[in-house]
Structure 1
Amino acid sequence: MIGILGGGQLGRMLALAGYPLGLSFRFLDPSPEACAGQVGALVVGDFLDEEALSRFAEGLDLITYEFENVPVEAARRLEGRLPLYPPAKALEVAQDRLREKTFFQGLGVPTPPFHPVEGPEDLEEGLKRVGLPALLKTRRGGYDGKGQALARTPKEAEKALRALGGKGLILEGFVPFDREVSLLAVRGRAGEVAFYPLVENRHRGGILRLSLAPAPGASEALQKKAEAYALRAMEALDYVGVLSLEFFQVGEELLFNEMAPRVHNSGHWTIEGAETSQFENHLRAVLGLPLGSTAPRGQSAMVNLIGEKPPFAEVLKVEGAHLHWYGKAVRPGRKVGHITLRRDGLKALEEGLARLSRLVSELPWEGV
């Protein structure tokens, strides 16, 4: 039995990918309404509650996690009892934006300029080094655009400093990028690796709305560059499982933005759009099984459903559309499902996306 820390939709999709392999699952989540509980055993409890951790761990063969804000202390406690993949060290890096940027910079991976901020003096020094415009972010927590503010002037930077608590921050130079892309990589227990094609990601309001896979027009050189950066990170962390790296693309250069030590939203297209999904490959990796092919099946688009439930029948009328509903209550700003559109060519994909754009609000589709 595999234990999964977290009971959201990523855990749910891991379990759905694992059942054909004869696997069983148990989740640990603080919420009794965690949607993964609909497809597997759910232990409800705080991640640092020793009694809950013990109930969760009993009888498990190994543990993985489905989101990167699991307390490192909980991961360390469990790592002492059972195999835990990816390693807790990866959580430590991913949970602190300053540590994350420093780690990748140390690997020789280009990043935007950044500076730690613990008060007004640091902010002043950071603005000199980083320049304006700049993004001021909390070092910990925050996702989907939360915990950050764009500053175009020194006054706006000072206002952002106060709004974000005045310390525990990182100032990053704003990058005028061409587009945002991500790479999903997977590394097995024996060190074998595989890479999915680069994916183009489009956001609205800081939330991922649309992924295009493979990223249209991405060169082989750009793909190889991203793979080399991911390989350095995985080897340095002795990583096992799926790792997602997000980049800003500027011409043929990639600037590292952030990592996620888990299966990732920008990889949901792989369920229908690749020979082996990211979820199955993560399970194969942590179990020491042979990795599956990451080859794409034609062209795919993944459309996030954020706080809305479109008419299912109309969605399914679109040729090549596959609907995934997570079993969550619909609330504003909440990821409640996704649609994967898979077609054999880019023109057919564009036609399908044009139809979906009339069914899903906030879909950033203006063509490739």
Structure 2
Amino acid sequence: MTVATIGIIGGGQLGRMLAMAAARLNFRTIVLEPQPDCPAAQVASVQITAGYDDPAALAELAASCDVVTYEFENVPVSAAAGLTRNVAVYPPPEALEAAQDRLVEKRFINDCGIPTARFHAVDSQADLEAALDDFGGQGVLKTRRLGYDGKGQKVFRSTADNRAGVYTELGGVPMILESFVAFDREISIIAARGTDGAIACYDPAENVHRNGILHTSTVPASITSATAADARKSAEKILATLGYVGVVGIEFFVLPDGSLIANEMAPRVHNSGHWTEAACVISQFEQHIRAVSGLPLGNVDRHSDCVMQNLIGDDILVLPEWLKRRDTLVHLYGKTESRPGRKMGHVTTLTAKSPVFP
């Protein structure tokens, strides 16, 4: 084995599943997370209970690990970059920097030759007014940083929508207005790049969101083989440009003609890739551990079709019914309190594999 201990910044459910995958490959894991008894700490070897930018905690993490990774994209870039002076950090901090700011992300994706929705930077109410006028009164206003699962957003559907004071209502922080995209469906692709430059892509999943949160991911997606190939090519461009190591999730809109518009990327394992633990021999979590530790990437072929569904909030109340199903894998996140919008776990229902793409 080339690595004995893997550090994970962030102690949520993604960190938990990474720690579980690491343990299967005989790695120790150390989680850096300010919340005591976080989901990841329940299965990791050690938890360092401190802030993500705590200098002493970061020094302890670097001294204790052979490589450090992270489970969410809002890790302070300065903390990740500082760690690189003493320990390998994958994915590289450059990936964090590109993904943390939606404006920077859109420009980076465009620079890779991949189309996105039209967008305008919004730094004032006047900027918002001008951007909305350019888009015919329509668009999605988002904070450039920290928003996820529908948070920090406002949708404008017509010129009749109230614009007054919206910039202040959303915090008066740097924002981006994105144009609407007339798409048929949403898909995502999970891809990985190893330390040797090898790249492996899972089959794209078709995603359905409710209230801004992923509800289901279905594989195979209802797309052509050409569209799937375009998604893979886009992922390969992004991974190669960043010198990336690890797993990435990239979301796309599929237009009526089958072409793709990139929505966003996540430099980490991704909710829409949870299906891989049930329908593939090598899950996205093991793939990430393999990539960052220098092991060969694993097989991404799926042995079954499937539908992954998030258990959000009170969805957990129907857990007994899911447990009765013989075709469904249940994965819970170690959270004891159910709240609206909180991801408590997920279930993946398998069916016989159909031909790959129409």
Same fold (TM over 0.5): yes
Residue 343 in structure 1 maps to residue 351 in structure 2: yes
- Superposition TM-score, scaled by structure 2 size: 0.93
Name the SS of the counterpart of 2:40 in structure 1. Answer: helix
Q: What does residue 78 of structure 2 align with?
A: 73
| Farther-moved stretch of structure 1 (14-23 vs 3-12) | 14-23
Q: What does residue 182 of structure 2 align with?
A: 176
Aligned counterparts of 1:90 and 1:337: Cα–Cα separation in 2 = 27
Of the three residues 204, 209, 213, the one matched with 2:215 is 209
- Cα 1:304/1:76, change in 2 over 3 Å: same
Residue 15 in structure 1 maps to residue 33 in structure 2: no
Note the 1:213-228 alignment, pairs <5 A.
213-215=219-221, 217-228=222-233
1:33 corresponds to which letter in structure 2?
Answer: D
Aligned counterparts of 1:130 and 1:106: Cα–Cα separation in 2 = 22
Report if aligned partners of 2:215, 2:310 keep a CA contact under 8 Å in 1: yes
Report if aligned partners of 1:130, 1:171 keep a CA contact under 8 Å in 2: no
Q: What does residue 326 of structure 2 align with?
A: 319
Of the three residues 235, 240, 246, the one matched with 2:240 is 235
1:338 corresponds to which letter in structure 2?
Answer: H
Q: What's the offset of the Cα at 1:198?
A: 0.7
Residue 300 in structure 1 maps to residue 306 in structure 2: yes
Unaligned runs of 5+ in 1: 347-368
Report if aligned partners of 2:125, 2:166 keep a CA contact under 8 Å in 1: no
Q: What does residue 120 of structure 2 align with?
A: 115
Report if aligned partners of 1:242, 1:282 keep a CA contact under 8 Å in 2: yes
Report if aligned partners of 2:125, 2:165 keep a CA contact under 8 Å in 1: no
Of the three residues 12, 23, 28, the one matched with 1:24 is 28
| Farther-moved stretch of structure 1 (49-58 vs 93-102) | 49-58
Q: What does residue 349 of structure 1 align with?
A: none
Q: What does residue 49 of structure 2 align with?
A: 44
Aligned counterparts of 1:299 and 1:194: Cα–Cα separation in 2 = 19
Aligned counterparts of 1:33 and 1:157: Cα–Cα separation in 2 = 43
1:175 corresponds to which letter in structure 2?
Answer: V
Of the three residues 106, 112, 116, the one matched with 1:101 is 106
Q: What does residue 340 of structure 2 align with?
A: 332
Name the SS of the counterpart of 2:75 in structure 1. Answer: coil
- Cα 1:167/1:5, change in 2 over 3 Å: closer
Aligned counterparts of 1:314 and 1:271: Cα–Cα separation in 2 = 21
Q: What does residue 270 of structure 2 align with?
A: 264
CA-to-aligned-CA distance 1:274-318 (integer Å, 9 cap, x gap): 121000111111111111111111211111011132344421222
The Cα RMSD (Å) is: 1.4
Unaligned runs of 5+ in 2: none
Q: What does residue 356 of structure 1 align with?
A: none
Aligned counterparts of 1:333 and 1:152: Cα–Cα separation in 2 = 24
Q: What's the offset of the Cα at 1:159?
A: 4.2
Aligned counterparts of 2:134 and 2:237: Cα–Cα separation in 1 = 27
Aligned counterparts of 2:286 and 2:164: Cα–Cα separation in 1 = 46
CA-to-aligned-CA distance 1:3-41 (integer Å, 9 cap, x gap): 000011111111111212111100001111311110011
2:75 corresponds to which letter in structure 1?
Answer: V
Q: What's the offset of the Cα at 1:221?
A: 0.4
Aligned counterparts of 1:317 and 1:265: Cα–Cα separation in 2 = 24
Aligned counterparts of 1:102 and 1:324: Cα–Cα separation in 2 = 36
Name the SS of the counterpart of 2:126 in structure 1. Answer: helix
Q: What does residue 170 of structure 2 align with?
A: 164
Name the SS of the counterpart of 1:156 in structure 2. Answer: coil
1:100 corresponds to which letter in structure 2?
Answer: E
1:48 corresponds to which letter in structure 2?
Answer: D
Q: What does residue 87 of structure 2 align with?
A: 82
Report if aligned partners of 1:151, 1:160 keep a CA contact under 8 Å in 2: no
Aligned counterparts of 2:319 and 2:118: Cα–Cα separation in 1 = 45
Of the three residues 2, 7, 10, the one matched with 1:3 is 7
- Cα 1:157/1:235, change in 2 over 3 Å: farther
Report if aligned partners of 2:303, 2:353 keep a CA contact under 8 Å in 1: no
Q: What's the offset of the Cα at 1:131?
A: 3.1
Q: What's the offset of the Cα at 1:345?
A: 4.7
Aligned length: 345
Q: What's the offset of the Cα at 1:116?
A: 0.2
Q: What's the offset of the Cα at 1:273?
A: 0.7
CA-to-aligned-CA distance 1:38-96 (integer Å, 9 cap, x gap): 00111110111111212222221000000001111110111111000000000001000
